[in-house]
């Protein structure tokens, strides 16, 4: 099944930040400028409905992905600062089908790090995607928070990851700390916050 992330990429880079090109066209005499008396042509009424619907769906999921990304104000009580660059995906994130995930990396004063990865899918729900994810490491018990359709977690070494599904959006939180226990506690403490930003299915 096709992953939306690749489709979202096209939507984000191709049309999300600029309006559709619906410029009005005028009849022009050969070699001349448009004449004011020439009537404007109406926009084509036979535009493929399927293409419009698909574009709308891509835009909607792309907006849900962006809305699920944690911000500085969301994390104001966590004592973190945003890293200059987002950390490379690793561990459990590599098992998540994705083409153009959104997210950020945050640093704790202790030296621990938090990375979020948010991905959207068109052809299936995020819960279906999550059910098929198989991460390395040991499964971590985590309760499904309100606002999430499903939740799973793993720890691999001193890195713990929680994946939360909501609608067509999968939000991943990954904490690397000095010990697995600290990483687990930190990432579990963020699941409610991340779940609140998921779209409601």
Quick: pLDDT tens for 159-183.
Answer: 999 999 999 999 999 999 999 999 9
- The reported pTM is 0.73
Quick: pLDDT tens for 30-43.
Answer: 444 444 444 444 44
**So what's the pLDDT on residue 98?**
77
Low-confidence ranges of the chain (pLDDT < 70): 1-54, 87-90, 99, 201
Burial class (CB within 10 angstroms; exposed 0-12, middle 13-18, buried 19+) of 73: exposed
Residues in the chain: 201
Nearest to 166 by CA among 190, 141, 187, 192: 192
Tell me the DSSP string of 142-173: -PPPTT-SEEEEEEETTEEEEEEEETTEEEEE
DSSP code, position 86: P
The rounded distance, in Å, linking the Cα atoms of 154 and 198 is: 20
The rounded distance, in Å, linking the Cα atoms of 1 and 15 is: 24
Which is it for strands 169-176 and 113-120: parallel, antiparallel or unpaired?
A: antiparallel
**So what's the pLDDT on residue 168?**
95
Q: Output the furthest CA–CA distance in the chain (Å, rounded).
A: 76
**So what's the pLDDT on residue 110?**
92
- C-alpha 195: how far from its chain's center? 13
**Domain boundaries in the chain?**
1-201
């Amino acid at each position: 099944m096709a992953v939306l992330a690749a489709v979202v990429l096209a939507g984000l880079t191709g049309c999300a930040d600029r309006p559709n090109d619906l410029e009005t066209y005028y009849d022009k005499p050969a070699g001349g400028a448009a004449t004011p008396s020439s009537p404007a042509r109406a926009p084509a009424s036979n535009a493929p409905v399927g293409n419009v619907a698909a574009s709308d769906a891509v835009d909607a999921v792309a907006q849900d992905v962006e809305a699920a990304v944690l911000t500085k104000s969301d994390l104001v009580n966590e004592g973190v600062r945003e890293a200059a660059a987002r950390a490379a995906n690793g561990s459990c994130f590599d098992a998540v089908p994705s083409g153009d995930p959104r997210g950020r990396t945050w640093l704790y004063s202790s030296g621990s790090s938090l990375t979020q990865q948010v991905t959207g899918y068109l052809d299936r729900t995020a819960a279906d995607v999550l059910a098929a994810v198989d991460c390395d490491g040991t499964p971590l018990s985590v309760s499904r928070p309100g606002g999430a359709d499903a939740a799973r977690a793993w720890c691999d070494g001193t890195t713990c990851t929680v994946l939360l599904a909501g609608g067509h959006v999968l939000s991943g939180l990954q904490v690397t700390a000095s010990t697995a226990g600290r990483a687990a506690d930190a990432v579990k403490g963020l699941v409610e916050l991340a779940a609140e930003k998921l779209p409601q299915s």
